[in-house]
């Protein structure tokens, strides 16, 4: 049967029960299909949801399904429709008007919840309802639904393909609000397209922050209009002497836009006062290490510093922070602060304490690597614990929050083992199980759960220069970090997780992700049909 033009009523924010009832009234003549038993709890979801109650029934996703959303969630609804099409070939309309034949609906709405990322997903026989604390929560729910859609259709239930989505209810909320990844685009440059692919996968696994390490000794990768040589000169090479590259402000804005569409916050990092050789080559007036700076394509650290006692340096930083902040809607600006080995300690502290208010002036909250805790900082500033537990504990003593990225557990650039093709091992070898088997909440006795902003998995690029090499190090370990940020320890187990991880191969294949096939994981090698288009 044809639906009447319900959408005008539906879009304008009617209560979800009203939405379902209204469409149900028009769908009672839909053919009754008897599905085999399903088990929502057996779907290999990552990160594992907090609470899953299977019903044994199924929702038949097919060409007669439509998505209905409130106006505020139309972006999320459109994203779902697009992803259903790329997985199944089905073209599912959003807030369909007029002549569309609809048997079953997927309904999206928001409601008052304690956490904006919380959501409730109910997969019933005739409808799917998503109720979330915000558009962000609805977007997270959409990822759960995407993961629940089977890889292949059942073509025996009707004369057209149906994807039986296992039924039940999921109530879910993340353990930490900051679930991040970092990409070093300074040692080797990665294109906007590469970053977008990373963002696609991050979104699917519910990571919500991408920290871009935009500057280092080897390269400056973001255009600053008031200081053009930063990229003209400082962006001209990379580790190994390759051509380098940089993001124009338009490129960066495009990354920010693409991330926002996926409810991912971009955190820009300008690493200072060390790791600044590329900027000092472009503008030697900044330099403070007493030598004539030259472009650097090696991988040693700790030899560069800006002149922390020169006002020009702070005028320069003001321009850089202002221009980048204007392009960055997220709340954070990362000032680096690590491995400033040739900056005297009192100069370092003076520098960090002068830069913090510059960042705050442009409305951003400071993040710095754990060394910044030596300075007298505002309690709103975040210390990113990568190396020194004492620094992290010192930050907690100042009322600051800590972002957990301990190198020996969470650095994606550490080799899996002695045979790994790419990566380093100065902190540890990190096999896929070691990356997963630790608990951010109890990692350090001096850092209580209430002190933890979240976790982030950095990927430094000394040894990788292509997206394939990036994927070898990031996947599959990044998925484990996503689960550590989302799912409480009591619900995690490596033996169970590794089976869910093994079942991600159809997604990896669809996304053309060249993951590292660790022997610790019983991989399921997919044999997928091409997506069908029933029209
Ligand atoms: C770092 O790995 N130098 C933060």
CA distance 365 to 177: 15
Q: Tokens for 402, please give them.
A: 């800590």
What is residue 33's predicted lDDT score, i.e. its pLDDT? 85
Atom of ligand 1 nearest to the CA of 336: 4
**Ligand 1 mean position, distance from CA 93 (Å):** 46
**Ligand 1 mean position, distance from CA 200 (Å):** 25
What is residue 25's predicted lDDT score, i.e. its pLDDT? 47
Full 3-state SS string of 242-309: CCCCCECHHHHHHHHHHHHHCCCEEEEEEEECCCCHHHHHHCHHHECCCCCCCCCCCCCCCCCCECCC
**Ligand 1 mean position, distance from CA 186 (Å):** 13
Residue the block writes with tokens 């800590």: 402
What is residue 14's predicted lDDT score, i.e. its pLDDT? 43
Among the listed residues 28, 30, 27, 55, the one whose alpha carbon sits nearest the alpha carbon of residue 41: 55
Query: Which residues are within 8 A (CB) of 24 and not within 5 positions of it... i.e. 6 or more apart?
Result: 126, 127
Decide if 240 contacts 465 (C-beta within 8 A): yes
Residue of 300, 303, 339 best suited for mutating to test ligand 1, as the one with most atoms within 8 Å of CB: 339
Distances (CA, A) of 173 to 50, 112, 165: 7, 14, 21
Q: Write down the pTM of the prediction.
A: 0.94
Write out the H or E segment, with its range, that includes residue 131: strand 127-132
Full 3-state SS string of 197-252: HHHHHHHHCCCCEEEEECEECCEECECCCCCCHHHHCCCCCCHHHCCCCCECHHHH
The verdict on whether omega for the bond into residue 288 sits within 30 degrees of 0, i.e. cis, is no
What is residue 239's predicted lDDT score, i.e. its pLDDT? 98
Q: Tokens for 408, please give them.
A: 């020996």
Nearest CA to ligand 1 atom 3: 338
Among the listed residues 314, 377, 380, 366, the one whose alpha carbon sits nearest the alpha carbon of residue 335: 366
Rounded (10°) angle between helices 345-361 and 311-326: 40
What is residue 134's predicted lDDT score, i.e. its pLDDT? 97
Atom of ligand 1 nearest to the CA of 301: 3
Decide if 9 contacts 69 (C-beta within 8 A): no
- Measure CA 350 to chain center: 33
> What domains lie within the chain, and their CATH numbers?
7-172 (3.30.379.10), 178-498+505-511 (3.20.20.80)
CA distance 193 to 189: 12
What is residue 20's predicted lDDT score, i.e. its pLDDT? 52
- Measure CA 430 to chain center: 21
What is residue 2's predicted lDDT score, i.e. its pLDDT? 40
CA distance 10 to 491: 38
Residue the block writes with tokens 């550490």: 414
Q: Is 269 a catalytic residue?
A: no
Query: Which residues are within 8 A (CB) of 503 and not within 5 positions of it... i.e. 6 or more apart?
Result: 44, 524
What is residue 206's predicted lDDT score, i.e. its pLDDT? 99
What is residue 524's predicted lDDT score, i.e. its pLDDT? 87
Pick the catalytic residue: 117, 269, 339, 462?
Answer: 339
Rg (CA), the chain: 25
CA distance 191 to 23: 45
**DSSP states of 140-195:** HHHHHHHHHS-SS-B-SSSSS-BEEEEEEEEEE--S-SEEEEEEETTTS---HHHH
What is residue 328's predicted lDDT score, i.e. its pLDDT? 98
CA distance 13 to 71: 7
Rounded (10°) angle between helices 477-486 and 192-204: 50
Q: Is 15 exposed, middle or buried (0-12, 13-18, 19+ CB in 10 A)?
A: exposed
CA distance 105 to 142: 14
CA distance 492 to 433: 12
Nearest CA to ligand 1 atom 2: 386
Q: Tokens for 295, please give them.
A: 């472009």
Residue of 270, 271, 369, 457 best suited for mutating to test ligand 1, as the one with most atoms within 8 Å of CB: 369
Please give the backbone phi and psi of residue 212, each rounded to the nearest 5 degrees, phi first: -105, 120
pLDDT beneath 70, residues of the chain: 1-30, 527-535
Query: Which residues are within 8 A (CB) of 53 and not within 5 positions of it... i.e. 6 or more apart?
Result: 40, 168, 169, 170
End-to-end CA distance of the chain: 18
**Ligand 1 mean position, distance from CA 422 (Å):** 18
Classify residue 109 by its DSSP letter: E
CA distance 267 to 333: 6
Distances (CA, A) of 447 to 312, 400, 454: 38, 11, 12
**Ligand 1 mean position, distance from CA 386 (Å):** 7
- The number of CA neighbours under 13 Å toward the Cβ of 10 is 27
Nearest CA to ligand 1 atom 1: 338
Using CB distances shorter than 6 Å, the residues near ligand 1 are 338-339, 369, 386
**Ligand 1 mean position, distance from CA 218 (Å):** 15
**pLDDT tens figures, 167-184:** 999 999 999 999 999 999
Query: Which residues are within 8 A (CB) of 124 and not within 5 positions of it... i.e. 6 or more apart?
Result: 55, 57, 59, 167
Residue the block writes with tokens 């109650």: 53
Write out the H or E segment, with its range, that includes residue 484: helix 477-486
Residue of 217, 341, 386, 411 best suited for mutating to test ligand 1, as the one with most atoms within 8 Å of CB: 386
Atom of ligand 1 nearest to the CA of 339: 3
């Amino acid at each position: 049967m044809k639906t009447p033009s319900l959408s005008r009523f539906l879009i304008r924010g009617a209560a979800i029960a009203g939405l379902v009832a209204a469409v149900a009234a028009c769908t009672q003549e839909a053919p009754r299909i008897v599905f085999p038993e399903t088990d929502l709890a057996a779907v290999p979801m990552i990160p594992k949801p907090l609470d899953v109650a299977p019903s044994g029934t199924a929702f038949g996703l097919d060409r007669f399904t439509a998505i209905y959303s409130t106006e505020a969630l139309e972006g999320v609804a459109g994203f779902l429709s697009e992803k259903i099409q790329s997985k199944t070939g089905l073209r599912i309309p959003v807030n369909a008007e007029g002549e569309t034949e609809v048997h079953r609906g997927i309904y999206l709405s928001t409601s008052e919840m304690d956490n904006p990322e919380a959501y409730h997903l109910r997969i019933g026989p005739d409808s799917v309802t998503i109720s979330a604390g915000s558009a962000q929560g609805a977007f997270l729910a959409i990822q759960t639904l995407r993961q629940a859609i089977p890889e292949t259709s059942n073509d025996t239930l009707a004369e057209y393909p149906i994807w039986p989505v296992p039924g039940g209810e999921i109530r879910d909320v993340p353990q930490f609000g900051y679930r991040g990844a970092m990409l070093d685009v300074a040692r080797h440059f990665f294109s906007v397209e590469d970053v977008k692919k990373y963002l696609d996968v991050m979104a699917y696994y519910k990571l919500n922050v991408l920290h871009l390490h935009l500057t280092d000794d080897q390269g400056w990768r973001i255009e600053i209009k008031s200081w053009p040589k930063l990229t003209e000169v400082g962006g001209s090479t990379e580790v190994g002497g390759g051509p380098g590259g940089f993001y124009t402000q338009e490129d960066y804005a495009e990354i920010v836009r693409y991330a926002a569409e996926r409810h991912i916050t971009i955190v820009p990092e300008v690493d200072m006062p060390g790791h600044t050789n590329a900027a000092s080559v472009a503008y030697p007036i900044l330099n403070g290490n007493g030598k004539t700076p030259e472009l650097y394509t090696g991988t040693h650290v700790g030899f560069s510093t800006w002149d922390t006692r020169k006002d020009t340096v702070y005028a320069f930083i003001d321009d850089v922070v202002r221009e980048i902040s204007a392009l960055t809607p997220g709340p954070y600006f990362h000032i680096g602060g690590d491995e400033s080995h040739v900056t005297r300690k009192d100069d370092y502290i003076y520098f960090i304490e002068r830069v913090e208010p510059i960042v705050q002036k442009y409305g951003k909250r400071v993040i710095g690597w754990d060394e910044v805790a030596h300075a007298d900082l505002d309690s709103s500033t975040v210390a990113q614990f990568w190396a020194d537990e004492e620094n992290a504990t010192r930050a907690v003593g100042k009322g600051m929050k800590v972002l957990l990225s301990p190198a020996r557990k969470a650095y994606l650039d550490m080799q899996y083992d002695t045979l790994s093709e790419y990566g380093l091992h100065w902190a540890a070898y990190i096999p896929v199980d070691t990356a997963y088997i630790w608990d951010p909440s109890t990692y350090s006795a001096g850092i209580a759960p209430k002190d933890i902003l979240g976790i982030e998995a950095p990927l430094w690029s000394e040894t990788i220069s292509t997206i394939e090499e990036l994927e070898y190090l990031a996947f599959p370990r990044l998925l484990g970090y996503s689960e550590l940020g989302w799912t409480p320890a009591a619900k995690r187990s490596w033996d169970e997780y590794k089976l869910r991880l093994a079942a991600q191969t159809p997604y990896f294949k669809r996304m053309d992700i060249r993951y590292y096939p660790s022997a610790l994981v019983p991989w399921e090698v997919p044999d997928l049909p091409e997506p069908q288009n029933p029209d």
